[in-house]
């Protein structure tokens, strides 16, 4: 009886997912196309509370189309930093309507936090890390608080800081899914064309990666797609993505091959 009581009183503080879970999923879905993978994950309902986190940037339409085609009820979360380009907000509304996304959510920084830490709205100009923390990282942390897993649009080719992204990794006990981690630019372009997806209005002007307006500039020929983010600062990520958990070596040649 005492033993039973101890079991009832025990609080399970284990994370929802472990690295072993991510490793198993990476192995299971190696060589499986993205749509088939997403359908299996959603049909099996093993992800718990899940949502797509989308910036509605220049490549976001591909992931959103893939997810919505399988299950348009999967929640999609957008962090409005209140420093976004008007074109991004318009593009967000266009994609939500066009793709039939049924559960779109917006999370924003809290007014009290902005009043305390960025009263004049210029923190981006002298402390971009601090600005990202209060306008993007903290709001997204609130949005993810009730999630067991989340879906990211990161891709390895976007920047040297994103090399070797696995399809599944662990983020603070949550399963983080990168369905496009192994896609290359040509894959995205072909998908846009095949499904006649609209492009972000700023892409044609040279903005290949679009974030907040004050910290986004045009990408020059030969630069990687994220070179226009935080130009002039030793910064390449906003802070919502941790270091990449590398894929295990496949043992063939000492080089990690991409998963397709």
> Which structure tokens are listed for 125?
């100009």
Q: Show Cβ contacts of residue 78 under 8 Å, excluding neighbours closer than 6 positions.
A: 54, 55, 56, 92, 104, 105, 106, 107
Q: Are 164 and 158 in contact (CB under 8 A)?
A: no
Residues 179/37, Cβ–Cβ less than 8 Å: yes
Catalytic residue among 131, 132, 215, 238: 238
CB 193 within 8 A of CB 62: no
- d(CA 51, CA 44) in angstroms, rounded, equals 15
Contact at 8 Å (CB) between 239 and 135? no
132 is catalytic: no
Nearest to 53 by CA among 18, 99, 85, 92: 92
Among 102, 49, 107, 110, smallest CA distance to 78 is for 107
Residue 189: other Cβ atoms inside 10 A:
12
One-letter-per-residue 3-state SS of 42-64: HHHCCCCCEEEECCCCCCHHHHH
Q: Catalytic amino acids?
A: 238
């Amino acid at each position: 009886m005492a033993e039973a009581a101890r079991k009832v009183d025990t609080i399970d503080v284990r994370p929802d997912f472990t690295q072993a879970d991510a490793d198993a999923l990476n192995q299971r879905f190696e060589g499986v196309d993205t749509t088939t993978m997403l359908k299996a994950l959603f049909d099996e309902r093993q992800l718990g509370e899940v949502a797509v986190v989308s910036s509605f940037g220049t490549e976001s339409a591909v992931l959103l189309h893939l997810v919505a085609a399988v299950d348009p009820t999967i929640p999609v979360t957008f962090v409005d930093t209140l420093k976004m380009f008007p074109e991004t907000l318009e593009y967000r509304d266009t994609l939500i309507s066009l793709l039939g996304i049924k559960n779109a959510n917006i999370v924003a920084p809290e007014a009290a936090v902005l009043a305390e830490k960025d009263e004049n709205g210029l923190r981006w100009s002298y402390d971009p890390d601090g600005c990202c923390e209060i306008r993007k990282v903290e709001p997204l942390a609130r949005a993810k608080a009730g999630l067991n897993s989340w879906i990211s649009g990161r891709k390895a080719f976007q920047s040297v800081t994103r090399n070797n992204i696995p399809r599944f990794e662990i983020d603070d006990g949550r399963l983080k899914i990168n369905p496009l981690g192994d896609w290359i630019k040509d894959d995205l372009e072909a998908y846009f064309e095949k499904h006649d997806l609209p492009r972000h209005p700023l892409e044609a002007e040279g903005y290949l990666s679009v974030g907040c307006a004050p910290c986004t500039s045009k990408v020059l020929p030969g630069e990687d797609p994220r070179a226009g983010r935080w130009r002039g600062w030793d910064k390449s990520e906003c802070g919502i993505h941790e270091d990449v958990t590398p894929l295990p070596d496949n043992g063939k040649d000492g080089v990690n091959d991409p998963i397709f």
